[in-house]
Chain A
Amino acid sequence: MTDIYTAVVDIAHAPLNPAAALEFVSDPRFGGIATFIGRVRQHNHGRVVTGITYDLFDPLALRIFQEIGERARAEVGGPLKLYIAHAKGSLRIGDFAVVIAAATPHRDEAFRACRLAIEAVKHEAPIWKQEHYVDGDSAWSEGCSLCEEHREAELAAAQQSKQTHGHGH
Chain B
Amino acid sequence: MKVRVTLFGALREADPHGFVEMDVPDHCTVATLREALQTHVRNHAPSISENLIKRSAFASEDEILHNHRHVPEHGQIAVLPPVSGG
Instruction: Tell me the A residues contacting B by CB distance below 8 Å.
Output: 38, 54-57, 59-60, 63, 86, 97-98, 118, 121-130, 140-150, 154, 169
User: Roughly how many angstroms separate A140 CA and B60 CA in the complex, as a whole number?
Assistant: 23
| A127 and B83 contact, CB distance less than 8 A | yes
- Known contacts A59-B61, A60-B78, A149-B67; decide if A123 and B83 are in contact (CB<8 Å): yes
Specify which of A55, A122, A123 is in contact with B8 (CB 8 Å cutoff).
A55
Tell me if B's interface is mostly helix, strand, loop or mixed.
Answer: loop
- Chain B residues proximal to chain A, CB less than 8 Å: 6, 8-10, 12, 54-57, 59-64, 66-67, 78, 80-86
Interface pair B83/A143, CB less than 8 Å apart: yes
8 A–B contact pairs at CB < 8 A? A86-B86, A125-B85, A126-B80, A143-B82, A146-B83, A147-B54, A149-B67, A150-B54
In whole angstroms, what is the CA distance A141 to B85 when docked? Answer: 9
Which secondary structure characterizes the binding site on chain A? mixed
CA distance in complex: A133, B54 (Å):
28
Q: Do A57 and B8 have beta carbons less than 8 Å apart? A: yes
